[in-house]
Every structure is written in C-alpha cells, then in structure tokens.
Amino acid sequence: MSNETGTAGNGQEGRQDERGREELRTEQEYVDLLHACLDALRDRAEGAADDALRPVGKGHQAQLERSIAAFEYSRTLAELDGIEEGLCFGRIDQRDGVTHHIGRIGLRADDSERTPLLIDWRAPVARPFYLATGLHPMGLRRRRHLTTRGRTVTALHDETLDLRETAPGAFENPSGDAVLLGALNAERTGRMGDIVRTIQAEQDEIIRAPHRGVLVVEGGPGTGKTAVALHRAAYLLYADRERLHRSAVLIVGPGGAFLNYIGEVLPSLGETGVWLATPGELYPGIKATGTDTPRATAVKGDARMADVLARTLADRQALPDPVLEIAHEDHGTLTLDRETAAGARERARGALVPHNLARPHFAFRVIDALTAQLADRLGADPFGGPNFLDPTDVAELGKEIATSPAVQAAIDTLWPRLTPEKFLADFLAEPDAGGHLPAEDADAIRRAPGTWSGSVFTPAPWTPADVALLDEAAELLGEDDSMRRAAEARKRREEAEYAQGVLDVAAASRTYEFEDEESEVLGAQDIVDAERLAERHEERDRRSAAERAAEDRTWAFGHIIVDEAQELSAMMWRLLMRRGPNRSMTLVGDPAQTADPAGMRSWDSVLAPYVGDRYAYRRLDVNYRTPAEIMDVAAAVPRAADPGFAAPRSVRSTGVRPWAGAYGAEELPRAVGEAAGRAAEAGGRVAVVAPRTLHHVLLPHLPGASAGESPDLTRPVVLLTPRQSKGLEFDEVLAVEPQRYEESDLYVALTRPTQRLGLLHSEPLPEPLAIALKA
Ligand SMILES: Nc1ncnc2c1ncn2[C@@H]1O[C@H](COP(=O)(O)OP(=O)(O)OP(=O)(O)O)[C@@H](O)[C@H]1O
C-alpha cells in the first residue's frame, strides 16, 4: 500500500530510494526549523513569565501590567507544551507551486514579513488537506502526511491528486488510507487521542459548520461523534476566538471517567480554556456523588417536575388559618387575617419576580396592614373623630413594625426566604405533601434529608438528577443579591481609587522616569485612565472565563457541546438551555444507545420546546472503532428489537471474529482472569465488563486491574460495569455474563473494542447474540 522507506533493487528503485531519503531529510530539516521556532516562543514566554513574577522596585503600573502578563504567559506555556507532539503532520503542494505545512497551531517566521511557516489545521488554507480528492483536487497537486515520533520524522505518505501526474513519488499511498488505518489499529493508551491528522471529509464538514443555532450530530457507536465534538470546540475557539474566550465553551460528558478519557484532546490541540463537566457538576458548589434508583432518575428527570416544583413553592407561600397572632415586643398582640395576607400574596405574586425577590413586596403589604392596625388602636378617637396620629407618628410606628423580630418571624412563616438546597431537601423529604405527584412517584424519590451520627448530621448527597432540580429551584427562588451587588460596587470603587493612587504615584515619579535610561517608555498615565487600570487590576486576579463560568450559575456560555446527549433528562435540558440562552450548541448522541431511564427517545421531543424544528441535523455513518466482525455481532442486539435497525458501516475488518466461552458459575472468575491475562499480553488496553455484583469475585483474578467509581483507564486491565464503559474504547473487551446487562448497555459494551471481543458466560447468552455468533 504505502512505501515509507523506499525499496532497494534495480537501478530505478535505487534512485527512488535515494530520492526518498532526500525528501525525508528535507522534511526533517523543516520540522527541526518548526521546533526551533516553537522553542523560541516557549523561551520567550518562559522569560516573560519569570520577568513578570520578579518584584519591580518602582512603577506600580508596570507591576500591574506584569501580573496580568505572568498569567497570560503561563497559559501560553501550557498551550505550547500541549502541541509539542506531532506539531507538524501534513503538507499540501498546490498546483501553483505554493507549498504549505499543516500543524496543530500556526507559526510564523521572525522576519519582517512574518512569513507563515506552519498553517493551523483550522485555517481555511488548510481545508483542502482534509477534503481534496482526485476528483476534486481543490487546487492541490499532492497531499503529504508526515508521521513523527518526538521531533523525528519517521514516515511520509503521499497522495498525488493531480491525475495528470504519472510518475509515482517515493512515498505514494494511492488509496490514501494508510495513515488512517495506522491510527485506527494503533494500541490504545487509555486516553483518547486527537484525530487532527486524519479528519474525514464528513467529519470536517461538521467540525467547521457555522455555530449559530443548534447542530445535532447523530451517529452509531465509533463514528467519531466525541472526536468531532472536541475538534469542533477547538475549531470554534479558533474561528471566533475573541468572543468565545470571553464567553467560554462548555462541554458536557456523561461521567468523570469519560471526562478523564477525553481530557487530553483539547490541550493537544492547543486549547485549554474549555470547561469539561458532567451533568452532576453543573450546579456551582455541588458535586453530585449520590445515586438514584432507575425509577427515581426517571421521575426526577421528567419535564413535569418543573410544574411540581413551582406548585410546591406556591404552597410555601402560605396564608393564616384563619388568623396569625403576632406578639409584638412593645405593642402587644397584632393579628394578621387570612384576607389581608391573601391580598399581600396576590400583590407579591403579581410582581412576577422569583420567590425570594417577591418577598419584600409581600413584607411591605403585611407591614403596611399591621401599621394601620396599630395606628388605629393607638390613635383612635373614642368619639369617632379622625385618628390623632399624624403621618410622622405613623411612619415611626411603621419602622417599629418593620424591625420587630416577631413581625419578621411571622413574615418568614408565610413567605420564607429559601435556598434551593433547603427547598429541594424539604420537598424530597415529603414529595407528596402538596399532592402534586402520584403516590408511587413520590415514594420513588422520597429520601431523608440526611443521617445523624450522635450529634453530627451528614446531609444526604445530591445525585446528578437532583442537580437539574436544584437549578430549577434556583430559578424559581431567585437570589436576593442586593447585598452582594452593593459589596461588588464598593470593591470596584475602592479599586478605582487605588488605581487612581497608582497613577498619581506614577505621575509624581515621572521626572525621575524621564531621567532614567528607560525614559523612552510611556508612563501608565499616558495610556490608561483609573477605571481601565482598575479593570486590569481586577483581571490580574481573574481566572479564565471557563473557570469563572464554572462558579456562576447564571453564566451564558458562548457555545455548549453535549456528548452522549441522548442520556440527558428533560429537566437537565432545561438547565442547559438556561446556560446557553443564545442556543449556540452542538449536540452529539445516538438515541439507540440511550440507557438513562430519563434519557431521550428523539431529538424532536427534546428540542421542540426550545427551538421548534429549527435545528440542523447531520449523520455520521462510518464506524472507525469497531471492526466489521464485531459490529456484525453487536448489531444483532438492537436489530432484534427493531428489524430495520441500520448499524454504522465499519471502515475496516480484522479477520478476527468475536469468541464466546461457556463456563460453570464456579469456574467463570478464573476463566475471566486467564482470558484477561492473555489479552493483556497481546498489548494495549483490556476492559473486563461485568455487572457490578460480580466485581468482588472477579477482582481477585485480575491482578493489577483498576476498578471502582473512577477506574484508571491507563492501566493494562480495567474492570467496569456495562454503564461505565459508555463512550470509552479498548483494544480488547471481555464481556462477562452479558445476558445480565440491560439491552442498551449490552449494545454499548459490545461496541467498545478496537480489535477483539470475547463473551464469557455461565448462563445462556441472549438469543440474538447466540445466533449472530453462530452465523
Ligand atoms: N477521522 C478519524 N481518524 C482517526 N481516528 C478516528 C477518526 N474518527 C474517529 N476516529 C477514532 O474512532 C474511535 C471512535 O471515535 P469516538 O469515540 O469519537 O466515537 P463515538 O461516535 O463518540 O462513539 P460512541 O458513541 O460509541 O462512544 C476513536 O478512537 C477515534 O479516535
């Protein structure tokens, strides 16, 4: 197929061999030049970062500037480190004689023209590298793939795209798939790698699609959905850098192990400013570690919960039955009757603001009524004349009412200040209190607020499904943040004053600066005013937009990417749509793999409430992971339920069919251990997938294996539940007792291997699988 090293033989081959060596040498020199350029950038950033951290004796303004610079440079350094491996991976030779090298970032020479040396893969100029074909060469004569190890060029693969050229090059790879197949067959490492060298045309179209609105990407297992989603994030950050670095990109993935698995892809593409989160992390300050039963997950995720919570909250806005007696500290008993309270409640609800923000409206009416009551009592003319109290007296009484602890306590009973956590914990403790949920649903989600151990109370952990409910509650309750805003305004004022002081000092020392040898340098006062300087001062302490966004529930992300989107519940979609009010979203998933009881069945049903049918839809149909032999067997599972089910087409076959072994229940763990040992010897990564209940009997037979909630996927052998295997991949998968998996988990687990699949069981296999294995 390809000729990486040239061949010796007759004279012509010998000449070709020589030419090949020469070309390899030329490419090596070019790659050396690029690395030298990268080193220079790194040195400069390192020097600048060190410089910025060094204390400066004078010139506070310079210190401010330098602190900001130190932060920026250290980020740049991290980004430069990330793209070291495989810096340059391609080259395109245009018909007009121009040649471009393609790489992970763009690099320019340090000359006066800033000559481009390396083209960023995301730049429009690089696009033909991914799209050109013999039929549509897009102005290219040749496409070349460079393979490197460290800084050494180890192989070249060429495709001649100009059909008029007849002489084969030294590295001709006519079908163009050697590099792709090399990547697909490579041993897995337990960390997902980027695909920037081999993005396929159908994937490229999605990666570079315009980002206004919602883009849905559907595809079966292994079609590159995750890879495409991550490369799209990198592309958007490149194409719309200014805006998206300010507003941040959020990527939501199914679980911690999965996020670890994909965590290195974006840094390898030179992007670090993205927030990767699981659904259980989307409510600031909470990491949901609890688990729900499938039934509870389904109930909590149902869209009707929004209404249930709203009604439950309305119940918390109570009325006296029939009157509330308030023992005022100085004025004896006051009474609040039901009708008066109802009037106050009506007015407060009429304000159409969230509960906590409406509370002052309610309180105002109640205080008003109680003041009138007291004024009537104290100033009443026994002979029926007008009240003796003048408006100033009444205003004084109003103050006494408003500041009375007894009155405040009464208001709290009727219209309590609530936090989302308190409100939800109360609700989950008695989910049927208001009669808004059927009894069996209420029973499914009922839970104690926590446990007591002696005098120590440990609150029950929140679950991922609770996170969506907490967010819903936070919306209903609103945050009375007037105190926080006042504090922020005060801080801003102080910072501006401080900055003005800095400028004054700078101005006072100006004469000195002008005598200094750096006298050509402009003083800060020449280029900034106090407010701007204060802003910069503030920026100095600032984290990246992504980090700030993670702590701000009301943050509006510039773009949101959801992987395994089929697993999100209706309530979680509500949360996400609040985080992305501009609806700039890329949603990737496969409804055939839906496993979550609250997960979706169709895109339409999920998206209609937010965008109607105004979303773009793309399909990926080629499976890059699972060889045809394995896919044929795995597809039998969904096909049993839906005879029309169309599995993605595998891009390669290995000739190795899945195998099955039946064992007695006693001997199964040992058989699994032995099979895992053999698989590990073959190299790469092995996953033993088994129901949780079997883990403790299997683990002793899997020495060195990683297991548990967050298994280390870089270990040679890992033990996973079927659900944990979602989104991951391994060289070999050993599926243990697959007849005990849920159907959607079974399809997921069977499609994880890149090379080999074994089924080990003591009970009969699911029928469609047994038939497919015999076929
Ligand atoms: N163009 C490509 N070049 C090289 N490898 C690719 C390409 N596209 C996909 N792959 C590889 O195929 C494998 C499957 O990709 P990915 O995990 O993105 O698929 P997926 O559709 O998200 O799968 P699933 O839904 O089963 O989790 C990965 O190893 C990925 O690197």
| Ligand 1 binding pocket, CB closer than 6 Å | 180, 183-184, 195, 198-200, 203, 219, 221-227, 590, 624-625, 727, 729, 751
Question: Which pLDDT tens digit goes with each residue over 81-100?
Answer: 888 899 999 999 999 999 99
Tell me the three state secondary structure of residue 70: helix
Residue 727 assigned ligand-binding role: no
Sheet holding 214-219, edge to edge: 274-277, 249-252, 559-562, 585-589, 214-219, 615-620
Contact at 8 Å (CB) between 323 and 337? yes
- pLDDT bin (cut points 50, 70, 90) of residue 758 is very high
* 213 assigned binding-site residue: no
What's the mean pLDDT in 630-635?
A: 96
Which of 188, 204, 207, 226, when mutated, tests ligand 1's pocket best, judged by the most ligand atoms within 8 Å of its CB? 226
* pLDDT of 523: 38
Mean pLDDT of 280-287: 94
Identify the H or E element spanning 756.
strand 753-761
Alpha helix positions (H), 447-540: 464-477, 482-508, 510-515, 524-527, 530-540
For residue 198, which atom of ligand 1 is closest to its CA? 3
Pair of tokens at residue 747? 């399809």
Q: For a substitution probing ligand 1, which of 185, 205, 625 has the most ligand atoms within 8 Å of its CB?
A: 625
How many whole angstroms separate alpha carbon 191 and alpha carbon 370? 67
Of all residues in the chain, the percent with pLDDT exceeding 70 is 86
Pocket test for ligand 1, best of 223, 228, 567, 730 (most atoms within 8 A of CB): 223
Nearest to residue 463, comparing CAs of 299, 221, 347?
299
Report whether 226 belongs to an annotated binding site. Answer: yes
**What atom in ligand 1 is closest to the CA of residue 589?**
25
Q: How far is the CA of 329 from the centre of ligand 1 (A)?
A: 71
Distance CA 117, CA 115 (A): 6
257-271, 592-606, 750-764 — which one is most confidently predicted on average?
A: 750-764
Taking only the tens place, the pLDDT of each residue in 103-136 is 999 999 988 889 999 999 999 999 999 999 988 9
Residue found under tokens 């009138």: 372
Which residue's CA is minimally distant from atom 27 of ligand 1?
Answer: 727
**Highest mean pLDDT of the ranges 37-41, 62-66, 528-532, 544-548:** 37-41
Share of the chain above pLDDT 90, in %: 71
Of ligand 1's listed atoms, the one at least distance from the Cα of 200 is 1
Tens of pLDDT, residue by residue over 268-282, are 998 887 999 999 999
Q: Classify the complex by whether its ipTM is higher than 0.90, answering yes or no.
A: yes
Alpha helix ranges (H) inside 642-735: 668-681, 695-698
Question: How far is ligand 1, taken at its centre, from the CA of residue 223, in Å?
Answer: 5
Atom number, ligand 1, closest to the C-alpha of residue 183:
4
- Judge whether 332 and 374 are in contact, CB under 8 Å: no
φ and ψ at 472, to 5 degrees? -65, -45
Q: Was 26 annotated as part of a binding site?
A: no
Per-residue pLDDT tens digits for 136-153: 999 999 999 999 999 999
CA distance 427 to 409: 22
Locate the DSSP E strands across 35-125.
Answer: 88-94, 99-103, 107-108, 116-120
Token readout for 512 is 């000195």
Cα(336) to centroid(ligand 1), Å: 66
The 10 Å Cβ neighbour count of residue 283 is: 23
Tallying the residues shown for the chain, one arrives at 775
Q: Is 384 annotated as a binding residue?
A: no
Question: What integer pLDDT is reported at residue 58 of this predicted model?
Answer: 58
> 214-219 and 249-252: which strand pairing?
unpaired
Is residue 322 reached through a cis peptide bond, with omega within 30 degrees of 0 on the bond before it? Answer: yes
Distance of alpha carbon 157 from alpha carbon 147, whole angstroms: 8
Which ligand 1 atom lies nearest to the CA of residue 219? 21
Beta bridge partners of 314: none
Q: Residue whose CA is closest, atom 8 of ligand 1?
A: 224
Q: CA–CA separation, 765 vs 737, rounded Å?
A: 8
Helix (H) or strand (E) holding 232: helix 225-239
> Atom 25 of ligand 1 has which residue's CA nearest to it?
221
Say whether pLDDT at 49 is over 90. no
**Structure-token pair, residue 324:** 């509330």
Instruction: Name the CA radius of gyration of the chain, rounded.
Output: 33
Confidence band, pLDDT 50/70/90 cuts, at residue 452: confident
Local structure of residue 176 (DSSP, 8 states): S
Q: What is the Å distance from ligand 1's center to 625 Cα?
A: 6
Supply the DSSP symbol for 249. E
Whether residue 222 is annotated as binding a ligand: the answer is yes
- 82 marked as binding residue: no
Treating both helix axes as pointing N-terminal to C-terminal, what angle do 530-540 and 482-508 enclose, rounded to 10 degrees? 110
| Amino acid letter, residue 559 | H
Ligand 1 centroid vs 194 CA: distance in angstroms? 9
Gap from CA of 222 to ligand 1 centroid (Å):
5
| Atom 18 of ligand 1, nearest CA residue | 224
Q: Which atom of ligand 1 lies closest to the CA of 728?
A: 27
User: Could you tell me the distance, in angstroms and rounded to a whole number, from the CA of residue 221 to the centre of ligand 1?
Assistant: 8
Q: Does residue 198 contact residue 180 with C-beta atoms inside 8 Å?
A: yes
User: Is 272 a known ligand-binding residue?
Assistant: no
- CB count within 10 Å of CB 763 equals 12
Give distance in angstroms: CA of 233 to centre of ligand 1. Answer: 16
Nearest to 214 by CA among 586, 619, 566, 603: 586
Is the pLDDT at 655 greater than 90? The verdict is yes
Alpha carbon of 227 to ligand 1 centroid (Å): 6
What span, in angstroms and rounded, lies between the C-alpha atoms of 157 and 148?
12
373 CA distance to ligand 1 middle (Å) = 73
Q: Give the number of other CB atoms < 10 A from CB of residue 530.
A: 18
Beta-bridge mates of residue 536 = none
Q: Report the residue among 261, 622, 637, 729 best suited for mutation to probe ligand 1: largest number of ligand atoms under 8 A from its CB.
A: 729
Contact 722, 742 (CB under 8 A): yes
Q: Give the whole-angstrom CA distance, residue 513 versus residue 521.
A: 9
Average pLDDT for residues 429-448, to the nearest whole number? 96
Atom of ligand 1 nearest to the CA of 624: 12
Give the three-state DSSP class for 436: coil
Q: What angle do CA 145, 150, 155 make, to 5 degrees?
A: 30
- Residue 609 C-alpha to ligand 1 middle, in angstroms? 31
Ligand 1: residue whose CA is nearest its atom 26: 221
Confidence at residue 773, expressed as pLDDT on a 0 to 100 scale: 94
* Residue tagged 């989107």 (tokens): 565
* 224-246 confidence digits (pLDDT tens): 999 999 999 999 999 998 899 89
**Residues with Cβ within 8 Å of residue 308, at least 6 apart in sequence:** 436, 437
Ligand 1 centre distance from Cα of residue 588 (Å): 12
DSSP element (H, E) containing 451? strand 450-453
